[in-house]
Structure 1
Amino acid sequence: MPANKPQYQLTAPICLFLLGVAISQTLRYTAFNSNSYSNNSVVVAQTSPKPAPQEIVQAGEVRALPGKLDTIPVFNSNSPEWIKTEGILLSTFPSNGKKVPAAHLNFPFEGRFDLFAHHYTHTPKDLQTLYLGVILHNPSKQPVTVDVLQAASYLLQDAPFVTLAPYIENNDGKAYSGPGNRAVSDVLRGIRQADFPAKLVIPPGQSRMLLNHPIPVKNLEKPVNGRSSFMRLRSTGKVYTASLAMFAKKNPDSSDRAPTLTEWQALLNSGNFAGPRDKTPTPPNATGGALIYGRVAGVSQGSQWQALLTDNSKDQTLTIPQRGKAISYTLDTLKGGRLGSGQIQTAKMLVRYPDTAYEAHGNYGVEYNLRLPLSNTTNQTQKVSVTLETPLKEDKLSQGGLRFRKPSLDFPFFRGTVRLRYADDQGQQKTRYIHLWHRTGQVLEPLVQVTLPRASKRMVQVDLIYPPDSTPPQVLSVRTL
């Protein structure tokens, strides 16, 4: 990575943390010969005072992201996140003929749509294997073909949450932290895993399984596992879709087997909601109390956000900022986290269950395509950096700029792969995939740095699919160094 570090304006810490002198006591007992006497002595060790964290306010401008989400519907199954009892996770089937009508949202898909299913399980009864099923139904009198454009599904055991370096070159796709991170990274590369068909033909009035995959916990060091699946699909006709959770059935020799299509259909028709239910979200019109976003279960609107980042809507270039300052575009902003932009980017819900999220907070699986037509209008050569970063979350900017912290808070807020496309300083076209592992408020090296001669332009494109198990909001910052 380039050696130049981001330039910031420093301020004194703003009463966020009041740290005193940390004193630890170590008890050391010395036992003497019991025939004479015994004595317990206490040794008190005093550590050096920890330095107070330094808050950093970035000099520059924060802008809302141009463009908007498209209208492609997304089957968005993320509640309950942790499953203990089998049942219906999300069904867009009609409610007629179903034992629990409220579990069915009556929303047919046709043409392009995405599918996202992200669930975990832990310590199930007798360490049974939980299966995650996705069923598609053709209600028409003609065959329907569903093209599986890209698809990936990973277990937590195959993509564990691990601490990684902030930047790892990831052209081979071998850097990941979490199953959702790994799945959307595959789809960003255009991959369809081998166990998914290129096409799924559904006869008239019949159903087919798109996914019938296990989430095993037996023989794991800890009985915790999960599965994250992400697909881009295209249907030639209307299809209803449902995600379901069912424990493995038994073979005659007591070994586990996957549920059959008939068994999945029986659960769909006669089953209740899977449980336990997640926290009920805060209503949009609430004016006080804790803000609970809730988990998503429904159909959200918007698969992709394309944006040309320019000085204004009538311009075709982005004038680089003054040296030492930044222009930051907000990403994945949401209620309570607009970073002063006044913009909420979260996808709207077309249909949802009443106890689940009102919007697709986090925009998991949404692809951002961001083009930056950098323009150096000065008479001097300038070095310019582009950085994806996670400032401290705020709705309005309390200090007039984005806030960062040294040391950063010890919690990962962004774990995922981005794709960079640009011409380097030698004029060579580059495409790079870089895995990011960033803590909140972390001061970071740039994703890419380019040298712009005077009165020159350079296009840089940043693409990412917002990864599950990341926490919004982020910004994409352009700095003149």
Structure 2
Amino acid sequence: MIQKQNLFSRIAGISTIVLCAVGGFFLLKQPAQSIPTKPTPEEIVQVTEVRSLPGQLDNIPLFNSDSPEWVKKEGILLSTFPPEGKKVPAAHLNFPLQGQFNLFAHHFSHTPPNLPTLYIGAMLYNPGTEPITVEVLQAESYLMEPDPPFKQKPEQSESPNGEVYSGPGIRAVDNVLRGMRQSDFPEKLVIPGGESAMLMNRPIPVRGLEKPINGRSTFMRLNFRGGAPVPAHPVSAPAKVYAATLAMYAKQNPDGSDRPPTLQEWQELLDNGGLAGPRDKTPTPPGGAGNLIYGRVAGVQQGSGWQAQLVDRDSTDLKIPEMGKGISFAIATLRGGKLGTEQVQAAKLLARYPDTACEARGNYGVYYDLALQRYNAGDKLQTVGLSLAKPLKEDVLSKNGWRFRKPSLDFPYFRGTVRLRYQDGGGVNTTRYVHLWHRVGQVVEPMVKLKLAAGESRSIKVDFIYPPDATPPQVLTVRTLE
């Protein structure tokens, strides 16, 4: 009894402990702890006037090699070569390119057996009899490890020299936006008639990494013309070129070390190989029923740039909205994510494989060049902000504006660099590169705030290459701040 009394005295006043008698013994039983419930997210509706983005995509084709994203079987990633003489004709889209075109390639190597290095090759072929000269205007290619790993960044970061990045594709298009070309890409590539040349032959190493997963993103702006670098006579017909991206594991040197594939080995793969694998999910065709599957792109898309003047109808200005309200333009809209605009900006595919995306659902690599001439029609000084944000995805808006939430969803839906060019309050021409790292539904701060006097009009240019590893759509909003 004394022992029981001491036991009671030790637990006196502790209401969270239950005393139970089992078989003549007293047991202390801790009640199950309740799991704290997460607070219901707060929905925030930003009242805004929703507008479609003026303009349209240009006609510069983009060679878009993004499927399969995770390569586990070597083979052809994307080929515009003619199928004649090829062992797997269906792997070749027979789509010649002319003049200017851009190239985007984004692929990963995932834990291959014995951890060999996967190489990504980009081949060009001149089917004519005269040589052609390919001008490499800008070109950047980066690995995920160790170049620019996917790491969290602040919501906004100034990046005047490209020192802020959060992924290989993001860094590649950021540097191309700045007009850069990596030193190991040639300025020009001369391809004799009837011959092929490697534009790129680069590794994706995984051996020695903490996790044997790595990737490479490449973006190039290319232009080619017929004739030698200094042509002695005019070319009678426009020059054509065929392009292909391929994936091949490293070959072995006699000492067992890895070496890159040769042009002959790449040609052998192109002539006799099939499509790389595994294949991605087959996309939902336009108008198809069921869950909407976009798929990843492997094809030639129509359009590499979108230029627009963001002004009021029948005007050269954009009159700023009332205080606390905004005017928003949708960016990179797509099926299932038109944000109430009835506009799909996703580029059409001129050639594609049947089991890959029906359109360029992310517009990765598309250059958006947008100009705003903001005008204060009021009678007092106003502060105007400009933001790029990712509201909750909707096809038809359920509220009178964009829906955001606090807290935002965890995953970043826009990671990339935006260039801003404007005159500051002192009339000084200013150029800023701002790296954004935005989650979906996140309420963000303006990229820039400018004061407009009554009757004042001031321009600002916003341009960026839509970054890989972003998820569309976004909205560009002009808001008169309170």
Calculate the TM-score normalised by the size of structure 1.
0.91
**Larger Cα-atom Rg:** 2
The answer as to whether partners of 1:90 and 1:243 remain within 8 angstroms in 2 is yes
Aligned to 1:430, the other structure's residue is in SS state strand
Cα pair distance change 1:38/1:462, threshold 3 Å: farther
Residue 185 (structure 1) aligned with residue 174 (structure 2): yes
2:394 matched to which residue of 1? 394
Q: Which amino acid aligns with 1:238?
A: K
| CA drift at 1:238 | 1.1
| CA drift at 1:39 | 6.2
1:181 and 1:443 map into 2 onto residues whose CA distance is 22
1:40 and 1:179 map into 2 onto residues whose CA distance is 57
1:107 and 1:432 map into 2 onto residues whose CA distance is 39
The answer as to whether partners of 1:64 and 1:330 remain within 8 angstroms in 2 is yes
CA deviation map 1:144-175 (0-9, x unaligned): 00000000000010111111100000111111
Residue 84 (structure 1) aligned with residue 75 (structure 2): no
2:467 matched to which residue of 1? 467
Residue 97 (structure 1) aligned with residue 90 (structure 2): no
2:156 matched to which residue of 1? 167
The answer as to whether partners of 1:364 and 1:467 remain within 8 angstroms in 2 is yes
The answer as to whether partners of 2:204 and 2:215 remain within 8 angstroms in 1 is yes
Q: Which amino acid aligns with 2:172?
A: A
Alignment of 1:145-224 (within 5 A): 145-157=133-145, 158-224=147-213
Structure 1 segments unaligned to the other structure (5+ residues): 1-27, 29-36
Q: Which amino acid aligns with 1:222?
A: K
Residue 67 (structure 1) aligned with residue 68 (structure 2): no
| CA drift at 1:121 | 1.2
| CA drift at 1:48 | 5.4
1:231 matched to which residue of 2? 220
Aligned to 2:266, the other structure's residue is in SS state helix
Percent of aligned positions that are identical: 62
The answer as to whether partners of 2:415 and 2:436 remain within 8 angstroms in 1 is yes
Deviates more, 1:50-59 or 1:438-447: 50-59
2:69 and 2:36 map into 1 onto residues whose CA distance is 43
Cα pair distance change 1:170/1:98, threshold 3 Å: same
Q: Equivalent of 1:278, from 274, 277, 280?
A: 280
Calculate the TM-score normalised by the size of structure 2.
0.91
1:126 matched to which residue of 2? 114
CA deviation map 1:35-70 (0-9, x unaligned): xx9967435444655432110111120100000000
Aligned to 1:126, the other structure's residue is in SS state coil
The answer as to whether partners of 2:48 and 2:400 remain within 8 angstroms in 1 is no
1:48 and 1:219 map into 2 onto residues whose CA distance is 42
Q: Which amino acid aligns with 1:112?
A: Q
Q: Which amino acid aligns with 1:419?
A: R
2:101 matched to which residue of 1? 113
Q: Which amino acid aligns with 1:214?
A: P
Q: Equivalent of 2:260, from 237, 249, 258?
A: 258
Aligned to 2:114, the other structure's residue is in SS state helix
The answer as to whether partners of 1:109 and 1:235 remain within 8 angstroms in 2 is no
1:429 and 1:252 map into 2 onto residues whose CA distance is 59
1:458 matched to which residue of 2? 458
1:358 and 1:40 map into 2 onto residues whose CA distance is 64
Q: Equivalent of 1:138, from 112, 115, 126?
A: 126
Q: Which amino acid aligns with 1:269?
A: D
The answer as to whether partners of 2:302 and 2:348 remain within 8 angstroms in 1 is yes
CA deviation map 1:314-346 (0-9, x unaligned): 211000000000000000000000000110001
Residue 240 (structure 1) aligned with residue 228 (structure 2): no
Cα pair distance change 1:47/1:425, threshold 3 Å: farther
Aligned to 1:378, the other structure's residue is in SS state coil
The number of equivalent residue pairs is 444
1:361 and 1:38 map into 2 onto residues whose CA distance is 66
Aligned to 2:197, the other structure's residue is in SS state strand
| CA drift at 1:285 | 2.3
The answer as to whether partners of 1:183 and 1:230 remain within 8 angstroms in 2 is yes
1:339 matched to which residue of 2? 339
Aligned to 1:269, the other structure's residue is in SS state helix
1:267 matched to which residue of 2? 269
| CA drift at 1:111 | 0.7
Cα pair distance change 1:47/1:277, threshold 3 Å: closer
| CA drift at 1:418 | 0.3
1:47 and 1:321 map into 2 onto residues whose CA distance is 46
Aligned to 1:455, the other structure's residue is in SS state coil
The answer as to whether partners of 2:80 and 2:244 remain within 8 angstroms in 1 is yes
Q: Which amino acid aligns with 2:355?
A: D
